């Protein structure tokens, strides 16, 4: 696939996510609504970051666009987990902080 093909796919993905946000805001359950809107928004920014990476001239702008896309890819994972927990009615996982234990790594 050519660079133009990737640009079109990422741009269509971003537009589809942004166009879906008004419909997602009509979901009655507040946790599900927040999770889905956050997921759609973060995937849109992720896609726009990669479009920027593919189109902008200059190394600094490319790296900045790539980092924005990369960061929002991780935000999308968190939003997806939040959405899934809210949709299924399960509480969000809370980290269990216990007593520190020694750990050994070997190769």
Q: Is the sign of the CA dihedral 17, 19, 22, 27 positive or negative?
A: negative
Tell me which residue has tokens 């809107």: 37
Q: Cα separation of 60 and 26, whole Å? A: 40
The count of C-alpha atoms lying within 13 angstroms of the C-alpha of 70, restricted to the half-sphere facing its C-beta, is 7
Sequence spans of domains, the chain = 3-88
Q: What is the pLDDT of residues 8-39, one digit of tens each?
A: 999 999 999 999 999 999 999 888 899 999 99
What is the pLDDT averaged over residues 37-58? 93
User: Using CA atoms, how far apart are residues 76 and 79, in angstroms rounded to an integer?
Assistant: 5
Residue 38: partners with Cβ closer than 8 Å, 6 or more residues away = 75, 79, 82, 83
Q: What is the mean pLDDT of the chain?
A: 87
């Amino acid at each position: 696939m050519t660079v133009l093909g990737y640009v079109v796919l990422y741009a269509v993905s971003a537009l589809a996510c942004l166009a879906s946000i008004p419909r997602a805001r009509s979901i009655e359950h507040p946790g599900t609504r927040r999770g889905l809107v956050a997921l759609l928004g973060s995937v849109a920014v992720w896609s726009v970051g990669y479009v920027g990476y593919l189109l902008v001239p200059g190394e600094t702008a490319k790296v900045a666009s790539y980092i924005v896309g990369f960061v929002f890819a991780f935000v999308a994972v968190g939003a997806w987990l939040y959405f899934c927990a809210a949709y299924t009615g399960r509480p969000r996982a809370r980290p269990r902080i216990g007593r520190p234990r020694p750990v050994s790594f070997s190769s």
